[in-house]
Amino acid sequence: MIGQVVVWIVIALVIAGLVAPNEALTWWRRGQQGRRGVEWPSLAEAFALPGGEPGEVPAQLPAETDHYLVYLSGIGISGPEQLPVFETPMVERLAERVGRTTVIWDIYPYSPANTALTQGRRLSRLWRRLVAWKSEQRLGAVAFLINLRNAFQVLVSVDRRYGPVFNWAIAQQIAAALLRHGYVPQHRKPVTLLGWSGGAQIAAGAAWYLSVLGMDVRVISMAGLLGSDPGLDRARQIWHLHGDDDLVVGLGVVLAPRRWPIFANSEWNRARREGRLQFVSMGPLKHTGKGGYFAAGPLLPDGREPRQATADHIVQVLVDAGLASDNFAAQPEV
Amino acid sequence: MIWWDVAADYLVALFRTARQALGANPDALQQAAGFGWAVPIGIAIVAGASMMTGQSLVLAINRVPRRRGVLTVAAAGLGSVAVAGLEAVLVWGLARLIVGESRPITELLPAVLVGFAPYWLGFLVLLPYTGPGIARVLQIWHVIALWTLLTPVLGTDRGTALLVTAGAWLATVAVDFVAEHSPLRLRERLFRLLTGSKATTSRDLMAAASSPVVPQ
């Protein structure tokens, strides 16, 4: 009986894996990419609704800022409109705190077309049900299918065969989001991609194409599960933030052989050698759950909430690099 | 006996032979006895088509129309029969050289064709990230299957059969490499002929992301 269940699970995983690259390849087949190279989307394209329907371009775009921070969520996300509940407080805190910077998070980094799982898909009804269960914290194992689906997209991104197509698509989505938030391509303001967990791989992959668009790109891998992606070669600076108690980050190293020291000429090790890759310890934080990067507790030995410590480290990195200011440092709370 | 009975018997023999070969059973060829060459050739054709399906990303990247894509997969099936022929010639040559074996190639070829059975799982190469690793595993599996099938055919000890098999396989890989990387660029030419498209790869996309890489 158990043997049969295992066989069926393996078959299901294989089928899920086989269809995983389909969305990226469909995006490629239907589009015009490759005929003109990587291009900035038009404003109309940037404001198109997920799925490609035309949207309304506002008369007044948001004001330009000195720096843009693009947050790419982990594999728990299911669409561009809403971050997973547990991530929201940290991201909001970050947006309040980081100065001279626009924080962007309305990107679904696991869909080449930025289409939510719950809309415009054949299995939308199923995904809606799973999202509902997830938010109600019911049937966790079943709702975990969302994470699994997105994890396969991370594998598509890291794969040297599919990655170039997938990462191109996501780079286009990031470029569109930047335009929506007032980025002016001609001014070439610096852009930092902040990828949490699997989002770090997407950030690394997209960096290649964003640099082709003329962007000054940096990558923050927040407990990132990423491979030695060619995109790292195009990132001016990479910060790998990790918790000391995070075992998942260690697993990421095991699963990405080209990050191992024996591959001295891999993108990861080259960046490390050139001083473009820095490791930043975030203290005794875990990957998820209590004591995780987004958790409210238990409090750390210095009295901070884990999520506050996470925001502190990200802001510190940006301030030290001269990319942003710390709003709270300028106007300390009384 | 009506034709579908024959077809059903053939399919049963095909699957049984492939299963035995996958399990590295030296008696696998006996399952195909009633159908002569049809089963070994069928195994190689399915193997080639499956491998091409596993590599069908290149069809997607080049936006190859569906009909031409199917044609390419079918041609890959026939191509694997040709590769098996080459491998059989190399086995024959090495066997003559190493053990003085002078059996005709036609006696070796069925074993080599059936030795392609592991490539039936070639479609799994499509799997993201793990695909290239699976391709390597299938290559090793092919060598093992070939070795076990050739040992009784060559009538030598297992060590000598392994030497002949591994040598022939390495030589086949070398010939394939030369054919692809010499000015001949055989595979690319065939791809262009079948698909009507330049063989743009993922690497090309990255290298030339800032300029047009795919023909209009």
How does DSSP assign A135-177, residue by residue? HTT-SHHHHTHHHHHHHHHHHHHHSTTTHHHHHHHHHHHHHHH
The residue length of chain B stands at 216
Bridge-partner residues for A277, per DSSP? A238
* Residue B215: predicted pLDDT: 35
The model's pLDDT over A48-57, given as tens digits with 9 standing for 90+, comes to 876 667 888 8
A interface test, pick of B127, B129, B204 with most A CB neighbours within 10 Å: B129
Query: How far B204 CA sits from the closest chain A CA (Å)?
Result: 9
Widest CA span in chain B: 63
Q: What is the pLDDT of residues A274-310, one digit of tens each?
A: 999 999 999 999 999 999 999 998 999 999 999 999 9
Rounded distance between C-alpha atoms, residue A243 and residue B181, angstroms? 47
Amino acid at A198: G
Q: Is the pLDDT of residue B201 over 90?
A: no
Torsions phi, psi of A47, nearest 5?
-95, 5
The two beta strands, A277-281 and A191-196, are unpaired
Q: For the segment B113-129, what is each residue's pLDDT rounded down to a tens digit?
A: 999 999 999 999 999 99
Taking residues A235-248, report their average pLDDT. Answer: 95
Predicted confidence at residue B187, as pLDDT, reads: 74
Q: For residue A298, what are its two tokens?
A: 């238990």
ipTM over 0.85: yes
Residue B198 is encoded by which pair of tokens? 């330049």
A72 beta partners:
A195
Q: Average model confidence (pLDDT) for chain A?
A: 91
A176-208, pLDDT tens digit by residue? 999 999 999 999 999 999 999 999 999 999 999
- Look at A134-143, A239-248, B39-48 and tell me which has the smallest mean pLDDT: A134-143
Chain A residue with Cα closest to B206: A164
User: Chain B residues with CB inside 8 Å of A168's CB?
Assistant: 205, 209
Q: What percent of chain A has pLDDT over 90?
A: 76
Q: What's the pLDDT at A32?
A: 65
Do B172 and B86 meet the contact criterion of CB atoms below 8 Å apart?
A: yes
Q: Give yes or no for B130 touching A (CB within 8 A).
A: yes
| Residue B27 CB neighbours (<10 A) | 11
Query: What mean pLDDT do residues B12-23 have?
Result: 93
pLDDT tier at B66 (50, 70, 90 boundaries)? Answer: confident
Mean pLDDT calculated for residue range B100-117: 89
CA distances from A135 to A84, A141, B202 (A): 8, 13, 38
Categorize the per-residue pLDDT at A155 as very low, low, confident or very high, splitting at 50, 70 and 90: very high
A57: its two tokens: 């371009």
Cβ neighbours of B199 in A, within 8 Å = none
Measured in residues, chain A has a length of 334
Q: What is the pTM of this model?
A: 0.91
A161–B202 C-beta distance less than 8 A: yes
Q: Could you give the CA distance from residue B27 to residue B24 in angstroms, rounded to a whole number? A: 9
Contact state of B128 with A159 under an 8 Å Cβ cutoff: yes
Across-strand partners of A191? A68, A217
Render pLDDT for B147-186 as a digit per residue (tens, 0 to 9): 999 999 988 899 999 999 999 999 999 998 888 777 767 7
Q: A218 with A208: CB under 8 angstroms?
A: no
CB A188 within 8 A of CB A212: no
Nearest residue of chain A to residue B65 (CA atoms): A29
Residue B216 has pLDDT above 70, yes or no: no
DSSP A54: -
B75: left (phi over 0), alpha (psi -120 to 50) or beta: alpha
* Average pLDDT of the residues in B69-84: 87
Between chains, do A160 and B214 touch, taking CB under 8 Å as contact? no
Most confident among A248-257, B99-108, B180-189 (mean pLDDT): A248-257
Q: How far apart are CA B141 and CA B51, in angstroms?
A: 14
**pLDDT of amino acid B213:** 42
pLDDT exceeds cutoff 90 at A119: no
- Based on C-alpha coordinates, what's the Rg of chain B? 19
pLDDT at A98: 95
Tell me: pLDDT of A27 over 60.
Answer: yes
Q: Alpha carbon A249 to chain centroid distance?
A: 15
Q: Which residue of A10, A14, A18, A152 to mutate against B (max B Cβ within 10 Å)?
A: A18
**Res B214: pLDDT:** 39
B121 contact A CB<8A? no
Contact A43, B215 (CB under 8 A): no
User: Searching chain B, which residue's CA lies closest to the CA of residue A30?
Assistant: B63
Q: Do A172 and A217 touch, CB atoms closer than 8 A?
A: no
Residue A171, min C-alpha distance to chain B (Å)? 12
pLDDT at position B212 is 40
B2–chain A Cβ distance below 8 A for any pair: no
Within 8 A of A17 by CB-CB distance, chain B residues are 126-128, 130
CB contacts under 8 A, B 34-93 vs A, are 57, 60-61, 63
Indicate the burial class of A57 (C-beta count within 10 angstroms; 0-12, 13-18, 19 or more).
middle
The answer to whether residue B202 neighbours chain A at the CB level (below 8 Å) is: yes
The CA-atom distances, in angstroms, between A108 and each of A80, A114, A116, A145, A170 are: 4, 5, 7, 16, 9
Q: Which residues of B touch A159 (CB under 8 A)?
A: 128-129, 131
Q: Chain A residues contacting B, CB < 8 Å? A: 14, 17-18, 20-21, 25, 28-29, 34-38, 152, 155-156, 158-165, 168, 208-209, 212, 230
